[in-house]
């Protein structure tokens, strides 16, 4: 079957232009590397990476000196190594994930090139780089960027091995699988198996299921994850007396290979039983629609088209090039939906597959001389989206957080001009569909990283409190946090690990017996408790506070923002 998609030249677009836009998006994301980390997860992982940096044992994970058994270690290893090279900073923590984001986009492009032309593959990479979820990942750094990059890379290399029989691709592909497992557990090997199984079964390539070379690949995976397994065994399996997550007798290896991933489906994991966020089996349906915006509608239509082709052809081989993307997306989406605990960022790993489906549908079905009405409809939706994104950009810099710098206004205005220029000056319908929307996305994302996030995170008071503590040069036993102020960002920016303290005479006196003066970071409830005690103290610093990960219309509205703000305090306590 010819893998070059045929479409009218008047509907074409330059792959170089698409690649240029992809590069521009990554340039826009660079300022995000300097933005403060956001509570809850990103700040915790950043503080754990800093804590690991000061440890002499990188095989065992700790969180505030307690044993940590949840996420695999790759993010902490890479971020700690980055901090060791260039110093502890926002940039150092986020840099590895930024690089894996580039890997994800590049691997998506090369994976698509195995079956489609340069336009489709370049478009698929651009879709990953420009979607809303990817923008969020570039700031709120978790394990998902590493997983997505490793997964896309492993799938590309293994499929390249099947095509070329290159031992280099085999080794690299299974190294990617190992990195994916170090990113998020056994899901890292299950996902490529799902996608490849669909590809082999659809094309009746039964021999590919039984290649002896896969044993070599599994040996590569074992070598990659061996340090983690050794660490888990020494930290937990050899020490059943240790308490972790409120339990003793915990096997680290069992937790990693079963409980944390498959246990969320079977009910063996506390995530979904004890900890239940109420997400239904349809949670990822609406989540995907906004997370892969603005390309999700194309994925949905393309997936529907592919399923129709499969059923009409009775699953005969030769009618669908992207069986790995279609089947892989459906199986991974279903597996994630069966989990009893769901969060939006879990779906990000499907972006490379979703992008290939969407790009193929756009090139083969939307921008097609015989389907001008569909192209006009999609163009209308994207023009409307571009207008809304531009309005959001100017709403942010003109109303939500006014007084933005001239440079931010200038870029926003340039993207507005570019949007209309692309709309009216470009010749092909493809360019009129895509380019105005890309200009609006670039403007909106630039405003987000250069102004919105920096201003928003001024209300995450633990960042400022951590910097204050760092400037005071306090040691761990000289400052404390009360039980209601758990944010890990204070650890990352203070450079020391916080100690919890109950605001009663016994605990405060115990601390004052070690140091004549202590500092306590607390909320309004803790402040009131100290006021009503015989404690001698002064307010060293007062901060505005808002849980920025949970935005509300009232907070975004400057006229009602004060009603949602809370107070946090850094208290200097010097007697009882």
Percent pLDDT > 90 in the chain is: 61
Question: How many CB atoms lie under 10 A from the CB of residue 286?
Answer: 10
| φ and ψ of 62, to 5 deg | -135, 150
The lowest-confidence range among 121-135, 254-268, 560-574 is 254-268
Q: Quote the Cα angle for 519-525-526, to 5°.
A: 20
Ranked by mean pLDDT, the top range of 311-325, 344-358, 492-506, 513-527 is 344-358
What is the per-residue pLDDT across 145-183, written as a single tens digit (0 to 9) for each?
Answer: 999 999 999 999 999 999 999 999 999 999 999 999 999
pLDDT(8) > 70: no
Q: Distance (Å, rounded) from C-alpha 146 to C-alpha 179?
A: 8
What is the per-residue pLDDT across 10-39, written as a single tens digit (0 to 9) for each?
Answer: 456 788 999 999 999 999 999 999 999 998
pLDDT(218) > 70: yes
Q: Distance (Å, rounded) from C-alpha 123 to C-alpha 15?
A: 7
Ranked by mean pLDDT, the top range of 178-187, 238-247, 515-524 is 178-187
CB 511 within 8 A of CB 472: no
**CA-to-CA separations, 570 to 181, 286, 390, 543, in angstroms, rounded:** 41, 41, 40, 8
Can you give the pTM of this predicted structure? 0.91
Q: In a 3-state reduction of DSSP, which class is residue 187?
A: helix
Query: According to the model, what pLDDT value does residue 506 have?
Result: 73
Q: What's the chain's average pLDDT?
A: 89
Gyration radius of the chain over CA positions: 26
Q: Distance (Å, rounded) from C-alpha 19 to C-alpha 50?
A: 36
Higher pLDDT: 499 or 58? It is 58
pLDDT(221) > 90: yes
Q: Distance (Å, rounded) from C-alpha 549 to C-alpha 347?
A: 18
User: What DSSP designation does 523 have?
Assistant: E
């Amino acid at each position: 079957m010819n893998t070059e998609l045929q479409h009218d030249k008047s509907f074409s677009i330059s792959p170089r232009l698409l690649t240029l836009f992809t590069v521009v998006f990554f340039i826009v994301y660079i300022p995000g590397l300097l933005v403060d980390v956001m509570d809850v997860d990103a700040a915790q992982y950043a503080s754990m990476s800093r804590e690991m940096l000061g440890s002499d044992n990188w095989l065992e994970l700790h969180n505030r000196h307690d044993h940590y058994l949840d996420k695999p270690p790759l993010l902490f290893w890479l971020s700690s190594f980055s901090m060791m090279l260039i110093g502890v900073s926002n940039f150092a923590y986020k840099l590895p994930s930024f690089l894996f984001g580039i890997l994800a986009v590049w691997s998506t492009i090369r994976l698509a090139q195995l079956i489609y032309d340069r336009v489709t593959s370049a478009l698929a990479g651009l879709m990953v780089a420009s979607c809303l979820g990817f923008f969020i990942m570039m700031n709120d750094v978790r394990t998902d960027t590493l997983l997505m990059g490793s997964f896309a890379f492993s799938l590309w290399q293994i499929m390249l091995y099947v095509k070329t029989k290159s031992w280099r691709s085999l080794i690299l592909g299974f190294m990617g699988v190992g990195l994916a497992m170090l990113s998020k557990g056994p899901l890292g090997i299950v996902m490529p198996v799902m996608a490849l199984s669909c590809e082999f079964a659809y094309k009746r390539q039964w021999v590919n299921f039984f290649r002896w070379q896969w044993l070599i690949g599994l040996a590569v995976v074992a070598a990659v994850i061996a340090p983690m397994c050794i660490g888990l065994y020494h930290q937990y399996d050899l020490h059943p007396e240790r308490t972790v997550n409120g339990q003793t007798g915990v096997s680290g290896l069992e937790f990693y290979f079963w409980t944390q991933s498959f246990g969320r489906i079977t009910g063996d994991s506390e995530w979904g039983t004890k900890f239940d966020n109420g997400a239904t089996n349809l949670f990822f349906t609406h989540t995907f629609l906004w997370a892969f915006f603005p390309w999700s509608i194309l994925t949905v239509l393309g997936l529907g088209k592919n399923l129709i082709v499969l059923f009409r052809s009775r699953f005969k081989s030769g009618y669908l090039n992207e069986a790995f993307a279609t089947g892989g997306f459906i199986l991974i989406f279903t597996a994630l939906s069966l989990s009893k605990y769901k969060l939006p960022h879990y779906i990000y790993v499907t972006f490379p597959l979703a992008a290939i489906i969407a790009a193929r549908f756009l090139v083969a079905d939307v921008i097609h001389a015989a389907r001008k009405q569909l192209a006009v409809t999609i163009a209308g939706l994207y023009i409307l989206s571009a207008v809304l994104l531009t309005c959001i950009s100017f709403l942010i810099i003109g109303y939500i957080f006014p007084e933005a710098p001239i440079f931010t206004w200038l870029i926003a205005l340039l993207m507005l001009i570019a949007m209309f220029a692309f709309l009216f000056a470009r010749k092909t319908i493809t360019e009129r569909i895509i380019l105005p929307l890309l200009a609006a996305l670039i403007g909106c994302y630039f405003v987000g990283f250069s102004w919105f996030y920096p201003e928003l995170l001024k209300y995450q008071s633990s960042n400022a409190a951590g910097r204050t503590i760092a400037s005071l040069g306090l040691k761990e036993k000289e400052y404390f946090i009360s039980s209601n102020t758990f944010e890990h960002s204070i650890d990352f920016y203070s450079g020391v690990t916080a100690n919890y303290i109950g605001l009663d005479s016994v605990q405060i006196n115990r601390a004052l017996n070690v140091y004549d003066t202590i500092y306590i970071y607390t909320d309004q409830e803790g402040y009131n408790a100290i006021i009503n005690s015989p404690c001698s103290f002064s307010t060293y610093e007062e901060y505005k506070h808002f849980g920025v990960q949970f935005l509300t219309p009232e907070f975004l509205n400057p006229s009602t923002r004060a009603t949602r703000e809370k107070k946090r305090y850094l208290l200097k306590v010097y007697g009882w």
